[in-house]
Amino acid sequence: CFFMRPSFNGPDSNPFWRKFAVAGHRLEMVKFLLNTSTMTDDKRTMSVEVDEATYISEVCKNSGIEIRQIEKAIDLLSVICSTWNEQFPVETVLIFPMIVAFLKGNPLDDRESIADAFRGKGSLLALAVEGHNIRELYATINGYMEKPLSAASRDKVNLHNNAQWNALSVISQVGYEILDREFRNGQRRHQRPAFASYANRIKMAGRFIQSDLDLDQK
């Protein structure tokens, strides 16, 4: 497999696993996994002001995902980045909660199941990391799921022209900036946001990793 690193196969099989098995070491584990992955920095970005490792660690903590599943989540992100061919990077802040939800059994097959990925520990709570309401960011992007990027760019201009931009929350502004960055790429102006492809990319990456594991076991 082209994204192989030392594997966390179990608590007795690998010294790295024993070191990071304690939940309190989750952040250190995430840093290790990111540093030993094959992902290049230009393939992914964090559009909110949170360190990527901290963000990933907090999303995992919030979801209650098992420690050994964290490696699988980052492997999925690695596969997605390896096949990413857009002129702008993957938004870790949006795709990682979906990856974690997928590993917990969420099929990501409709709007409701995707929306569930951005809920907090309680079903009525929004996913938030270090004061950033990630569910609100998702809601801003989701508002354009069935619209071309040109619509989002036009709305952003209108918000500025009508002096309404500053009335938006900072996280909603971030959402519009993400959409506008995709629009300004030029090749996708009349297409939907890249976010619309995230669910399928996650499921394809999941199938790839499973087939790779099946081959290793033969």
**How far, rounded to the nearest angstrom, does the alpha carbon of residue 189 sit from its chain's CA centroid?**
23
Residue with tokens 């069935």: 146
**For residue 141, is it within any domain?**
no
For residues 192 and 216, give the distance between their C-alpha atoms in angstroms, rounded to a whole number.
37
Specify whether the CB–CB gap between 127 and 120 falls below 8 A. Answer: yes
State the average pLDDT for the chain: 88
**For residue 211, is it within any domain?**
yes
Give the best-scoring range by mean pLDDT among 6-20, 82-96, 124-138, 203-217.
82-96
**For residue 51, is it within any domain?**
yes
Task: Specify the higher pLDDT residue, 116 or 217.
Answer: 116
**For residue 47, is it within any domain?**
yes
Segment (H or E) for 114: helix 111-116
Q: What is the pLDDT of residue 108?
A: 98
**DSSP states of 76-109:** HHHHHHHT--SSS-EEHHHHHHHHHHHHTT----
Q: Which residues pair with 91 in a beta bridge?
A: 45
Q: Average pLDDT of 62-76?
A: 92
**For residue 26, is it within any domain?**
yes
Q: What pTM was estimated for this model as a whole?
A: 0.88
**How far, rounded to the nearest angstrom, does the alpha carbon of residue 107 sit from its chain's CA centroid?**
15
Please state the domain count of the chain. Answer: 1
Residue 72 is part of which domain span? 15-135+197-216
**For residue 173, is it within any domain?**
no
**For residue 63, is it within any domain?**
yes
Q: Average pLDDT of 43-69?
A: 94
Q: What is the pLDDT of residue 63?
A: 92
Is the pLDDT assigned to residue 209 strictly greater than 90?
Answer: no
Least confident of 10-14, 21-25, 70-74, 109-113: 10-14
Nearest to 134, CA basis, from 27, 202, 44, 48: 48
**For residue 152, is it within any domain?**
no
Q: Average pLDDT of 173-185?
A: 96
Residue with tokens 């599943």: 69
Is the pLDDT assigned to residue 143 strictly greater than 90?
Answer: yes
